[in-house]
């Protein structure tokens, strides 16, 4: 069935290294993809988004890449910091705001 | 500053009881959403609203209801709480038709015994 999922449930990186979090989606009709960050005990927080007609979008220390050919989405975090430790969710929207989330990847940054 | 709040933050209730979780936003957003978060499932959409008097079912709406009488509030009611509804519930809001960025509340942890 249609789904949004993540390749790896956990990711551990050294402080200062770059992090790459991956996400697969199955519905080519999705028109918007979003990455959220969730810290322990808090609600998800918007990081960055990308429209389906784009391949790449950059923010502050983050880059989202969209490969529509293989239905793959990734979040790259440059110079990962301890404050980046959290669970990261990808999400897709198909009908305006009806958003479907993946299961999440836990990122741990080692000092 | 504008914000979105949820209450209570923690709730323990018994099977069969009716429970209402409150969500209040001061962003003046048209769109409001309720999600539940369970380990291994991420966030799943329960109900959503695009404006006053508008409500729509999400992916996992059975056993839940919402009503939207004003812009600021979207209470979520569990008609007859079941143990399977033990979860963390998040409310979110976003702007109009192009408001893909959702702002989330801090969550309500509900335990049904």
Q: Does B57 touch chain A (CB under 8 A)?
A: no
% residues pLDDT > 70 (chain A): 90
pLDDT value at residue B6? 97
Q: Does B31 touch chain A (CB under 8 A)?
A: yes
Q: Assign residue B38 a region (left: φ > 0; alpha: ψ between -120 and 50; beta: otherwise).
A: beta
Query: Are B94 and B74 within 8 A, CB to CB?
Result: no
Please indicate whether, in this complex, the C-beta atoms of B42 and A96 are within 8 angstroms of each other.
no
Distance CA A65, CA A21 (A): 10
pLDDT value at residue A93? 84
Q: What is the DSSP string of B23-63?
A: EEESS--SEEEEEEEETTTEEEEEEEEEETTEEEE-TT-TT
Mean pLDDT of A81-105: 86
Query: Are B8 and B106 within 8 A, CB to CB?
Result: no
Please indicate whether, in this complex, the C-beta atoms of A34 and B41 are within 8 angstroms of each other.
no
Show residues of chain A in contact with B50, CB under 8 Å.
Answer: 97
Q: How many other CB atoms sit within 10 Å of the CB of residue B111?
A: 13
Please indicate whether, in this complex, the C-beta atoms of A97 and B90 are within 8 angstroms of each other.
no
pLDDT value at residue A3? 47
Read off the pLDDT of residues B34-64 as tens digits, 9 standing for 90 and up: 999 997 678 999 999 999 999 999 989 999 9
Band of pLDDT at residue A100, cut at 50, 70 and 90: confident
Is the predicted pLDDT of residue B67 greater than 70, yes or no?
yes
Show residues of chain B in contact with A46, CB under 8 Å.
Answer: 101-103
Higher pLDDT residue, A64 or B102?
A64
Band of pLDDT at residue A94, cut at 50, 70 and 90: confident
Mean pLDDT of A52-75: 95
Mean pLDDT of A76-95: 92
Band of pLDDT at residue B86, cut at 50, 70 and 90: very high
Residues contacting residue B2 through CB under 8 Å, at least 6 positions apart: B25, B26, B27, B28
Distance CA A3, CA B1 (A): 36
Distance CA B89, CA B97 (A): 24
Q: Which of A43, A97, A104 sits opposite B104 (nearest CB)?
A: A43
Read off the pLDDT of residues B17-39 as tens digits, 9 standing for 90 and up: 999 999 999 999 999 999 999 97
Is the predicted pLDDT of residue B69 greater than 80, yes or no?
yes
């Amino acid at each position: 069935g249609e789904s949004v999922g993540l390749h790896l449930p956990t990711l551990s990186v050294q402080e200062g290294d770059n992090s790459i979090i991956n996400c697969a989606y199955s519905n080519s009709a999705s028109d918007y993809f979003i990455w959220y960050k969730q810290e322990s005990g808090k609600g998800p927080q918007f990081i960055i988004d990308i429209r389906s007609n784009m391949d790449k979008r950059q923010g502050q220390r983050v880059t989202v890449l969209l490969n529509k050919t293989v239905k793959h989405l990734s979040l790259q975090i440059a110079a990962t910091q301890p404050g980046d430790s959290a669970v990261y969710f990808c999400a897709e929207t198909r009908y305006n705001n009806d958003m479907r989330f993946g299961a999440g990847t836990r990122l741990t940054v080692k000092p | 500053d504008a914000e979105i709040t949820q209450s209570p933050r923690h709730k323990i209730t018994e099977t069969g009881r009716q429970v209402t979780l409150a969500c209040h936003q001061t962003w003046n957003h048209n769109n409001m959403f309720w999600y539940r978060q369970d380990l291994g499932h991420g966030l799943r959409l329960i109900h959503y609203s695009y404006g006053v008097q508008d409500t729509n079912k999400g992916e996992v709406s059975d056993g839940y209801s919402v009503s939207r009488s004003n812009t600021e509030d979207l209470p979520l009611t569990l008609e007859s709480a079941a143990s399977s509804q033990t979860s963390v519930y998040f409310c979110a809001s976003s702007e109009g038709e192009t408001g893909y960025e959702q702002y989330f509340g801090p969550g309500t942890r509900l335990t049904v015994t």
